[in-house]
């Protein structure tokens, strides 16, 4: 399978840790430095209810491949991805589609802080389900240990978290 980017940062953690916010802030920092890149919330590429037995994850990774190909045709070689990576197989799907130079940044926050963020963010019919999923997903990620480095997202500013991630990944200097 063809790889479309040279370098990828995957931002992972449970729901409510700030993956999407850090993704957007890191994208803004890179844009201010005129560093070509793409920023993708991977879950958005699989947001669907499919009538068939096909899982959303398969479609999501095929969509990622298409998006990476499109960005590659424009000269984009760096990719920021946000996704709660639950196992090595998911990580390898990203590697196959995107790049060989991939680092995983795990954001950390207390379960209580993440649950509170989800309660504030999700006001719809699935709020209870999402709040309950926070601790479960956090435990899965603890066991998986896929991260290359961790950064706390509970107290520092969004800009500080995104900047630290980009420095640790080697995309920018201090």
Beta strands at 149-152 and 78-82: parallel, antiparallel or unpaired = unpaired
Could you report the per-residue pLDDT of 26-45, keeping only the tens digit for each?
999 999 999 999 999 999 99
Query: What is the pTM for the complete model shown?
Result: 0.93
Question: Six-digit token pair at 104?
Answer: 């995983």
Maximal CA-CA distance, the chain:
49
Could you report the per-residue pLDDT of 78-119, keeping only the tens digit for each?
999 999 999 999 988 888 766 668 999 999 999 999 999 999
Residue 18's pLDDT band, with cuts at 50, 70 and 90, is very high
Sketch out the chain's domains with CATH numbers. Answer: 7-168 (3.40.50.300)
Could you report the per-residue pLDDT of 38-77, keeping only the tens digit for each?
999 999 998 888 877 666 788 898 899 899 889 989 999 9
Q: How many CB atoms lie within 10 A of CB 156?
A: 13
Q: State how far the Cα of 4 lies from the Cα of 140, in Å rounded to an integer.
A: 29
């Amino acid at each position: 399978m063809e790889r479309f980017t040279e370098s990828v940062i995957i931002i992972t953690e449970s729901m409510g840790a700030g993956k999407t916010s850090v993704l957007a802030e890191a994208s803004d920092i890179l844009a201010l430095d005129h560093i070509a890149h793409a920023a993708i919330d991977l879950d958005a590429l699989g947001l669907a209810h499919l009538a068939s037995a096909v899982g959303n994850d398969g479609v999501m990774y095929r969509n990622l491949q298409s998006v990476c190909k499109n960005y590659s045709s424009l000269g984009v070689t760096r990719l920021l991805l946000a996704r709660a990576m639950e196992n090595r197989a998911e990580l390898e799907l990203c590697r196959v589609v995107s790049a060989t130079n991939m680092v995983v940044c795990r954001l950390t926050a207390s379960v209580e802080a993440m649950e509170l963020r989800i309660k504030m963010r999700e006001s719809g019919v699935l709020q209870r389900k999402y709040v309950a999923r926070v601790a479960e997903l956090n435990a899965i990620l603890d066991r998986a240990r896929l991260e290359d480095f961790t950064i706390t997202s509970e107290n520092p500013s969004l800009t500080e978290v995104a900047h630290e991630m980009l420095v640790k990944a080697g995309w920018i200097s201090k």
